[in-house]
């Protein structure tokens, strides 16, 4: 009987630990390799018909980074 209870508890702990470790790994990965970089942002603005300046791109990147940090 104890084997079953210990097995269930170990399984639940493994799932919880795996979830939090995977979440931490993905947060670190996305921080090091953001999904949108300056080049992609420039292309996106050009497709929308805007002429992107470096100042505007820097502002948008800083806003995105600030928002990412606030969500964390």
Q: Specify the pLDDT at position 67.
A: 83
Backbone angles phi, psi at 33, to 5 degrees: -125, 80
Q: Are residues 3 and 18 in the same domain?
A: yes
Task: Give the domain range for residue 44.
Answer: 35-72
Nearest-angstrom CA–CA distance, 28 and 20: 12
Q: What are the angstrom distances between the C-alpha of 72 and each of 51, 64, 67?
A: 32, 12, 9
Statement: the pTM of the whole predicted model exceeds 0.75: no
Residue corresponding to tokens 């929308």: 48
Whether the pLDDT of residue 18 is over 90: the answer is: yes
How many domains does the chain divide into? Answer: 2
pLDDT for residue 72? 62
7 and 19 both lie in a single domain: yes
Same domain, 16 and 28: yes
- % of the chain surpassing 90 pLDDT: 50
Residue 35 has pLDDT above 90, yes or no: no
Kindly report the average pLDDT of the chain as a whole number.
Answer: 89
Return d(Cα 33, Cα 12) in angstroms, integer.
Answer: 31
């Amino acid at each position: 009987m104890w084997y079953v209870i210990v097995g269930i508890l170990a399984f639940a702990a493994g799932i919880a630990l795996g979830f939090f470790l995977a979440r931490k790994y993905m947060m670190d990965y996305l921080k090091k390799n953001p999904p949108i970089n300056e080049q992609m942002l420039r292309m996106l603005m050009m497709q929308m018909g805007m002429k992107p300046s470096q100042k505007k791109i820097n502002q948008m990147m800083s806003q995105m980074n600030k928002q990412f940090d606030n969500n964390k």
